[in-house]
C-alpha cells in the first residue's frame, strides 16, 4: 500500500509539473521558425508552486517555488536562442486559468495555471 501511495504521489507530481519546450522548423528561403512555451501552477495565483525551468543550462526541467512563467523570462531565453540573428514577427500568447474544477464544481483562485507561448522567425 505504501508503494502505491508513493507511485500515485510521484505520478501526480509529474502530471502537475510545469514544462518548458522549444520547437523549431526550417523556413522556406532560409531561417528558422521557433516556438517557445512554458507553463506552471500557482497557489492563490500568487505563490509559485511548479513550472518549467527556462534556465539555459538547466539540469532539471522543472522549477519548484520559482516563477519562470513570465514574458520577460521567455523573451530573454528566446533572444539567447537567437544568438544575434534577427527576430521577425514575434507573437505572444498568454493563457491564464484561475478556476480549478473538482468533480465538476469550479473553485476559483486556489490552484491557478498560466501558460506563455512566444513564437517568431529567426533570419
Task: Quote the CA–CA distance of 66 and 59 in Å, as a whole number.
Answer: 15
As a whole number, mean pLDDT of residues 59-71 equals 87
Query: Global pTM?
Result: 0.77
For position 56, what pLDDT does the model report? 84
Task: Quote the CA–CA distance of 85 and 27 in Å, as a whole number.
Answer: 14
Percentage above 70 pLDDT, the chain: 88
* DSSP-based three-state secondary structure for 92: strand
Tens digits of residue pLDDT in 72-87:
999 999 999 999 899 9
User: What is the Cα 34 distance to its own chain's centre?
Assistant: 15
Tell me the chain's radius of gyration from C-alpha atoms.
17
Per-residue pLDDT band for 114 (boundaries 50, 70, 90) equals very high
Amino acid at each position: 500500500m505504501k508503494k502505491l501511495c508513493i507511485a500515485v504521489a510521484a505520478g501526480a507530481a509529474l502530471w502537475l509539473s510545469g514544462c518548458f519546450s522549444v520547437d523549431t522548423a526550417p523556413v522556406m528561403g532560409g531561417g528558422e521558425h521557433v516556438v517557445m512555451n512554458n507553463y506552471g501552477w500557482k497557489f492563490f495565483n500568487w505563490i509559485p508552486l511548479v513550472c518549467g525551468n527556462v534556465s539555459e543550462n538547466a539540469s532539471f526541467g522543472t522549477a519548484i517555488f520559482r516563477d519562470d512563467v513570465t514574458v520577460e523570462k521567455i523573451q530573454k531565453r528566446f533572444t539567447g536562442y537567437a544568438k544575434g540573428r534577427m527576430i521577425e514577427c514575434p507573437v505572444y500568447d498568454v493563457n491564464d486559468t484561475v478556476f480549478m474544477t473538482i468533480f465538476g464544481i469550479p473553485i476559483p483562485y486556489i490552484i491557478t495555471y498560466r501558460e506563455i507561448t512566444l513564437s517568431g522567425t529567426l533570419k
